[in-house]
Structure formats: C-alpha cells, structure tokens
A and B are shown apart, each in its own frame.
Chain A
Amino acid sequence: MPPAYLFLLLSGALFTMGAVGFLVRRNPLVVFMCIELMLNAVNLAFAAESRFLNSLDGVVFAFLVITVAAAEVVVGIAIIVQVYRAGRQMDVDGLDLMKE
C-alpha cells in the first residue's frame, strides 16, 4: 500500500491543474470540466483520508460531493445552452453583462 501522503500529493496536484485550467481557459464548457477535475481531486483526498484513518465518513462525503457535482453540471450546462441560444459567443470573457 502506498503511504497516505502520496495520495494527498496526487490529489493536490490534480486540484492545482484544475484550478490553473479554470483560470486560463475561456471556453465555458472547458471551465466546467476543470471544476469537475477539482471536485474529483477533493474526492480522492476524502477517500484516502477515509482509508488511512479507518473511517467511513470520507467516503460518504465523497458521495455527497458527487451528488453536488451532478446538480451543478445540470444547472451550469442549462445556462451555457441558454447563453448559446441567445446568440452570444462561447467565451467567458465576453459574458460580462452582470458587470455593467
């Protein structure tokens, strides 16, 4: 069995890549995928803590995170499709109507 900190290190690396992608990319769909990447990294940390501390709480919380992610994707993609149907460009930099 690999030691716990390796799992946490992998989880942190995945989270970092997701966060950097979230900041760098402009396509809203890819931004969403980077959010999923971050949530997955957190799930990995939860599962690893759960395994190495002999507790089920982490697994249960990872399950709840999966639920929240599913709900978030449903609403987010509905909004992206609406924005697309309104004829706007698929670009998070162009969607600044709320700023004005």
Chain B
Amino acid sequence: MQLEPSLLALLVFSVLVLVLGLVLWAIKKPAGKAVTAMGIGLVITFLFYFAFVASGVYGKPGAESGYVLNILGVMVLIVGAFVAIYYIKKARTLQAES
C-alpha cells in the first residue's frame, strides 16, 4: 500500500502528536493527557482508514458499496456512546466510593 504525500504527511503528523502527548504526560505537564487523547484519536482514525482501503470500500458510490461506511458511522456512534457512558458511570461510582 503506497500512501500519497498528503496522507503520508498527515500520518507523520498524527504519530508526532501522539509521541508529543506521551512525552508531555511522562514529564507531568498539564497538557499531557489531552494531547495523548488527541494523538490516540488521530492514530485510531488511520487504523480505520487502512482497514477501509484494504477492504476496498473507498471510491465507490454509497449504493454500490451498500452504504457500508454510513452504517459503520452509525455503529461507531452507538457503540462509542455506550462504551463512553459505561466508563463515565464506572468512574463516577469509583469516585463516590473513595
């Protein structure tokens, strides 16, 4: 798989953000966790991108691919929201107990 320059630059940028976040976190700077969360988000996005390229769903009109990317979007919304709410509930319970 060969990346075009625009995407390669973006991938390098995403990895640099993640590394910067981890370094800031390690030296206990206030921005460390936020920048790390940002970097993880960017890198996870690239994982989705590579999976879509490998599966061949890119470049096809929605109807031709069975609207698979739109359906996946809805799944990310539902699963992401449930997982995040679960962790928020769990964290609140732990904070209340401590």
Chains A and B are bound partners: no
* Interface residues in chain A, defined as those with a beta carbon under 8 Å from any beta carbon in chain B: none
* Interface residues in chain B, defined as those with a beta carbon under 8 Å from any beta carbon in chain A: none
